[in-house]
Amino acid sequence: MAGGQPVTTDSKGESSIRVRVIPFLAAVVLAGCNRHVVVSPPQQATIYYCKAGTDELVRVPFSADPKLTRAALATVAVNQLLAGPSVGADTFALFPRGTSASVDVRGNTAIVDLKGPIERSFQSGGSDEAGMFKSLTYTLTGLPGIDRVQVLLAGRSVASLPGGQFELDEPLTRAMFAQ
């Protein structure tokens, strides 16, 4: 026996090892024939964009990997929001191009840390500024278990954006925009 396998000799006197592959092949074939494969449906979310100069929101459905954690789903949703819609971007109040965000979720609060051009100066006007944060708040509070959004700027709590007017020192809720 060689390595636990039977050794045989053929008519020319050459020895060979007889390997039992039938059980192995059967196991491989049967493993590939599992008919009960479960595929999870994607997580559904809504990205809200605010029309420029108004407080009107436009809903855009979004699908994400079903395995994402709540914080990862929130991060993906915010990055979709920051990227802007695929069409008509000039008709919406959008965060300045190049703005990035990281999102953490603690309890029912999403903590959004904004970085990039938004840190330096915001000059687009009060209604667009409010529209940006309304869209951010509605997008995140539309996710399961998130009721509030705390905005940070480069890791710090700030009263407002540089050059901005919208108050950011308290967590944002949908109720704040319903008035």
Query: For every residue of 34-90, which 3-state class applies, written as one string?
Result: CCCCCCCCCEEEEEEEEECCCCCEEEEEEEECCCCCHHHHHHHHHHHHHHCCCCCHH
Per residue in 85-94, is it b (16+ CB within 10 Å) or e — as a string?
A: eeeeeeebbb
Q: pLDDT by residue for the chain (179 residues), tens digit each?
A: 555 555 555 555 544 444 444 444 444 445 555 566 677 788 889 999 999 888 899 999 999 999 999 999 999 999 999 999 988 888 998 899 999 999 999 999 999 999 998 887 666 666 788 899 999 999 999 999 999 999 999 999 999 888 788 899 999 999 999 86
Structure confidence by residue, pLDDT tens digits, 4-36: 555 555 555 544 444 444 444 444 445 555 566
Nearest CA-CA partner of 170 in 124, 116, 111: 111
Instruction: List all residues 6 or more positions away from 162 whose beta carbon is below 8 Å from its beta carbon.
Output: 119, 120, 121, 122
Strand partners, 150: 111
State pTM to two decimals.
0.76
